[in-house]
Every structure is written in structure tokens, then in C-alpha cells.
Amino acid sequence: MFKELDPILHSQLRLAVMSLLISVKEAEFTFLKEKTNATAGNLSVQIQKLKEAGYIEIIKQFKDNYPQTICKITSFGVNAFEEYVKNLQSYLTNHK
């Protein structure tokens, strides 16, 4: 038996954002946009959903007079991501 995959993470863009954030300390919105090739609007919506789930933290600040959005994975987000990968692995093992 395997658990159902977390619907928050089982979305291509949200999963991509989480996979990027788990590998770094923090990343700017522009970095996530460049690496995922997503549109700014779509990315904004998806990171907001991750924030509402408590998986990431969003810091809005100014850098050299320009607005800057920084995203950081939370410890809750790390646990959810690890759980998702574990479930994914067990799903793939059972379906081989």
C-alpha cells in the first residue's frame, strides 16, 4: 500500500519550485522564474499556494531601490517534500 501523493506538491510547477528551494538556502523570484521557465503570473500564484500550505516563506524587501521577493523553504516544507519523495518511490516500486 502507498499513501496518496500530496496534492499541493503534485503539481509540476509547485514541485519544481520546491525542488529548487530544497537545494539552496534561499532564492529570488527571478531565479525561480528563470529556472522553471514559468510566467511571472503563474509562478506568483503557485508560490502563494505553497506559502499558504506553510511549505515556503516569502520575504518581500527592497534591494537597491527595487522590490525583491525572496523564497525560502520551511522545515515543514522540507518534511512534506521528503514525505512526497518517499511516497513517490514506494509508488514507483509497487508499479514496476
Partner 1 sequence: MEDNQKFSAEQSLQVIQAMIQKAKHDVANNSFYLLLWGWLIFIAALLNFGLMKFTRFEQPYLAWNLVWLGAIASIIKGIKDAKKITVKTFVGETMKVFGISQAILYFGLFFFFGKYDLWIVAFPLYILVYAVTCFFMGALMQFPLLKWTGLLCLPIMVIAVYVSFDWQLLLMALAILISYIIPGHVLSVKEKIQNK
Does 27 interact with partner 1 (rule: CB under 8 A)? yes
Is residue 59 a contact residue for partner 1 (CB under 8 A)? Answer: no
Range 56-65, long-range pairs (CB < 8 A, 24+ positions): 56/17, 56/18, 56/21, 59/26
- Among 96, 91, 76, 95, which residue's Cα sits nearest to residue 8? 76
Q: How far apart are alpha carbons 69 and 81 in whole angstroms?
A: 22
36 sits near partner 1 (criterion: CB under 8 A): yes
Given the complex with partner 1, which of 20 and 53 has the nearer CB atom?
20
Exactly one of 48, 59, 86, 91 binds partner 1 (CB under 8 A); which one?
A: 91
Single out the residue of 37, 61, 65, 75 in contact with partner 1 (rule: CB under 8 A): 37
Angstrom distance (rounded) from CA 44 to CA 46? 6
Residues making contact with partner 1 (CB under 8 A): 5, 7, 10-16, 19-20, 22-28, 30-31, 34-38, 42, 45-46, 63-64, 85, 88, 91-92, 95
